[in-house]
């Protein structure tokens, strides 16, 4: 019998195309948020750029938005490798609130203290992956605005840029076709009324 776990993606893994490219098909359970927490881009990546991290706050108004995916043990093992488990990120077990305000027990990844560098910035492609994931899942406008304000840097590694631009182009095309389909449905509904 296959065991499944609930994974809270809050950074570059939020968009299903990105996560499925890494670990294969997985199911979205719910959009969710983690209260009293803030998203930071200060975890040192293998490429020396800033990656996402969760920082807990006393401020009740702060929260990190993300997506809960159902993944298998095998998929979790692959994800652990991508997330440099034990050499960058550690497992964090938390409770998040779904859109229906239900508490859900999940796991996620949090930066290990020795891999935090507050002066880091994300690369442009990484920042866009986070933005596209947040837009895909229709996060609140105020949260999208906060993400948009994050400053980023260009990636000088052309091989990395090409690889990530291919993924970003695929995601953009999918999102554009979804927007086009929604427009067609709305136009059809307008015509039939």
Domain ranges of the chain: 4-192
Query: According to CATH, what is the number of the domain 4-192?
Result: 3.10.490.10
Annotated catalytic residues are 83
Residue 179 has pLDDT above 70, yes or no: no
Task: Return d(Cα 6, Cα 11) in angstroms, integer.
Answer: 16
Task: Return d(Cα 2, Cα 121) in angstroms, integer.
Answer: 39
Q: Which two tokens stand for residue 158?
A: 């052309």
**Which residues make up each annotated binding site?**
7-12, 126
At 124-175, the pLDDT tens digits run 999 999 999 999 999 999 999 999 999 999 999 999 999 999 999 999 987 7
Q: Which of 142, 139, 141, 130 lies closest to 65 in space, CA to CA?
A: 139
At 42-73, the pLDDT tens digits run 999 999 999 999 999 987 889 999 999 999 99
**Which residues make up each annotated binding site for substrate?**
7-12, 126
Does an H or E element contain 136, and which? helix 124-136
At 103-117, the pLDDT tens digits run 999 999 999 999 999
- Are 121 and 153 within 8 A, CB to CB? yes
Task: Return d(Cα 133, Cα 116) in angstroms, integer.
Answer: 23
Q: How confident is the model at residue 190 (pLDDT cuts 50, 70, 90)?
A: very low
Task: Return d(Cα 184, Cα 165) in angstroms, integer.
Answer: 28
């Amino acid at each position: 019998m296959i065991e499944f776990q609930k994974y809270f993606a809050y950074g570059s893994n939020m968009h299903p195309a990105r996560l499925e490219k890494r670990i294969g098909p997985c199911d979205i359970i719910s959009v969710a948020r983690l209260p009293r927490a803030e998203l930071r881009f200060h975890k040192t990546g293998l490429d020396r750029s800033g990656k996402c991290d969760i920082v807990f706050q006393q401020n009740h108004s702060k929260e990190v938005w993300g997506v809960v995916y159902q993944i298998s043990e095998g998929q979790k093992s692959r994800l652990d490798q991508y997330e440099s488990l034990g050499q960058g990120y550690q497992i964090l077990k938390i409770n998040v609130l779904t859109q229906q305000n239900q508490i859900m027990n999940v796991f996620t990844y949090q930066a290990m203290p020795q891999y935090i560098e507050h002066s880091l910035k994300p690369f442009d492609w990484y920042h866009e992956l986070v933005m596209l994931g947040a837009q895909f899942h229709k996060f609140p406008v105020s949260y999208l605005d906060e993400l948009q304000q994050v400053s980023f840097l260009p990636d000088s590694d052309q091989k990395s840029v090409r690889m990530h631009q291919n993924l970003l182009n695929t995601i953009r095309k999918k999102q554009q076709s979804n927007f086009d389909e929604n427009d067609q449905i709305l136009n059809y509904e307008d015509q039939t009324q």
